[in-house]
Amino acid sequence: MENNPINVTKKPLINWGTGIVIAIALFMSFILYFVIKVQSNSKYDNELVVEEYYKQDARFQEEIDQLQNNHDLPNKPSFTKTAKGITVIFPSEFDVSKVKGKLSLYRPSNKKLDFEIPLSLSDSNPSLLIPKLNLVGGRWDITMQWQYEGKLYMTKEILYL
């Protein structure tokens, strides 16, 4: 018998088209796994920053006008950090008995810490203290919407405790 070498070519187990399909399927599975993980795990909080976003967006011009009214004041209310908490002080030219409004404290990192308090000022004490017991260390966005003699004002401040 002669020893004739036979030219045998081996076929690959997976051709390149099948490899691409497998790679795409694995990538899609990988992405789907992370989407499901983020949606089901409460530590990845994906809530909106503001509830009723569209209603707030419709009132945006009013907010700009209120901020401008505050900007036009010669002496503005101030926010100061003290050992007891945050103090809001109104200038002496305001008759604080005519000041009405609310103070909103927004914690960007945790919605559960947000709260609002009404402005309650008296002639003997033209300031408002937000006790440190209600505040956790970190960033606080403070929005004060108030009215004085029929005119609306808005003051925004960012404080770090």
pLDDT tier at 2, thresholds 50, 70, 90: low
pLDDT tens digits for 106-136?
888 777 888 888 887 776 677 788 888 878 8
Q: What is the pLDDT of residue 159?
A: 84
Q: What is the pLDDT of residue 21?
A: 95
Q: What is the pLDDT of residue 40?
A: 81
pLDDT tens digits for 68-92?
888 888 888 888 888 888 888 888 7
Name the residue with higher pLDDT: 55 or 77.
Answer: 77
What's the rounded mean pLDDT across residues 27-34?
95
pLDDT tier at 29, thresholds 50, 70, 90: very high
pLDDT tier at 49, thresholds 50, 70, 90: low
pLDDT tier at 93, thresholds 50, 70, 90: confident
Q: What is the pLDDT of residue 25?
A: 97
DSSP the chain: ---PPP---PPPSS-HHHHHHHHHHHHHHHHHHHHHHHHH-TTS----SSTTHHHHHHTHHHHHHHHHHHHT-SS--EEEE-SSEEEEE--TTS-GGGEEEEEEEE-TT-GGG-EEEE---BTTB-EEEEEGGG--SSEEEEEEEEEETTEEEEEEEEEE-
Work out the mean pLDDT of the chain and round it to a whole number.
81
Distance CA 26, CA 79 (A): 54
